[in-house]
Amino acid sequence: MPPTQQPKDMYENVTPQPARQTLRAPQQAARQRPASIPPVSRTPSSAMKSLMGNRSVALTGVILAIIVIAVVVVVFFNPFEKTATNEPVANTNTEPSILPSTISPPSNTGSVSDADSDGLPDAEEQSLGTNAQNADSDSDQLFDREEVKVYLTNPTNPDTDGDGVIDGQEVAQGQNPSGAGLLRDLTSEIEKL
């Protein structure tokens, strides 16, 4: 390791010189002021005026923020609204309820049988020649009710118009399954039923 050396003094070759001291009278110093420095005035500068203006803008912003927060609290949380109390209602009916001793089961005289749940009653399926146990008798991807009531196609023929495309695929493509052309609005057609 090299021996430790002291750092070199960079001012060792400089000779000190006495400082210049010039004392001037205060009036003389004031007269020799450079022209580029503006005189000091007692009125607030434009920087102070803008700072004061910024304070008033900031104060206005804070006041507006407080007002907005207050409005949001009142609208959404409404601390002044009275909450309803859930008190039980007194029973004003003093007569006891009389229940029949036996309850008869509902009669099935008005019910319509639909074994395959396709929307066509079994009796109507029998008259059309469709299978009352299969919701899509011709396997064309349309229920029998859709073919009879909505699209007016043959529920026993998978391709009613004979164009080589089964009825369900034509409906999915927006084509008329019972002839040429496009389907009408399905929603409006169903509402007609």
Supply the pLDDT for residue 84: 64
Supply the pLDDT for residue 13: 82
Give, for all 193 residues of the chain, the pLDDT tens digit: 566 778 888 878 878 777 766 655 555 555 565 556 666 655 555 555 555 567 888 899 999 999 999 998 888 887 666 666 677 766 666 666 565 556 555 555 556 888 888 888 988 888 888 888 888 889 898 888 888 888 888 999 999 888 999 988 988 888 888 888 787 666 666 677 6
Supply the pLDDT for residue 37: 66
Whose structure tokens read 């434009």? 46
Distance between CA atoms of 125 and 145, rounded to whole angstroms? Answer: 9
Name the amino acid, one letter, at 42: R
> With contact defined as beta carbons under 8 Å apart, do 56 and 48 qualify?
no
Distance between CA atoms of 49 and 149, rounded to whole angstroms? Answer: 83
- Per the structure block, which two tokens stand in for 41? 């005035």
Whose structure tokens read 């396997």? 139
Supply the pLDDT for residue 68: 96
Cite the DSSP H helix spans in the chain.
26-31, 46-77, 122-128, 144-145, 167-172, 186-192
Q: Is 32 left (phi over 0), alpha (psi -120 to 50) or beta?
A: alpha
Would you call 165 exposed, middle or buried from its count of C-beta atoms within 10 A (0-12, 13-18, 19+)?
Answer: middle
Supply the pLDDT for residue 107: 55
Supply the pLDDT for residue 66: 97
- Per the structure block, which two tokens stand in for 26? 């205060």
